[in-house]
Amino acid sequence: MLLHPNDSIAVIFCAQRTGSDEEAYQSAAAEMSALAAQQPGYLGQDHARSADGLGITVSYWRDDASAKAWRNHPDHALIREQGRGKWYSEYSLHVARVERGYDWQK
């Protein structure tokens, strides 16, 4: 986990997995994560997923244009369709601008 600067964009994706098609999901998730990291303006991401299939991914972007470009990336759009078709039962997505941040290590 990294601390990101003020005015960066946080894309907060919260999704409930259906539980089906786990292998293809994991493969696509890894591919999307690697592809996102290659995009201009990508700053980093954090991901957690509970045993019940509720997952949260927060990706951080230098600016809103970078976040939107990733949303519109054709490979990402294609995977999103698969997500709605097979992998998720519901999700929410919030795009938010960082106003302050802190981090701490033991």
Task: Report yes or no: 53 and 17 within 8 Å, Cβ to Cβ.
Answer: yes
- Distance between alpha carbon 8 and the CA centroid of its chain, in Å? 15
Does 50 bind a copy of itself (CB under 8 A)? Our answer is: yes
Does 32 bind a copy of itself (CB under 8 A)? Our answer is: no
Q: Tell me how far CA of residue 69 lies from CA of 16, 52, 63, 99, 104, in angstroms.
A: 25, 31, 10, 22, 31
Does 72 bind a copy of itself (CB under 8 A)? Our answer is: no
Which DSSP category does 84 fall into?
I
Does 93 bind a copy of itself (CB under 8 A)? Our answer is: yes
21-29, 30-38, 86-94 -> range binding a copy of itself (CB under 8 A): 86-94
Using CB under 8 A, which of 22, 31, 46, 75 touches a copy of itself? 46
Torsion region of 100: left, alpha or beta (phi above 0 gives left; psi -120 to 50 gives alpha): beta
Using CB under 8 A, which of 38, 48, 74, 81 touches a copy of itself? 48
Residues that bind a copy of itself (CB under 8 A): 1-4, 9-10, 12, 14, 16, 18, 46-51, 54-56, 58, 60, 64, 84, 88-106
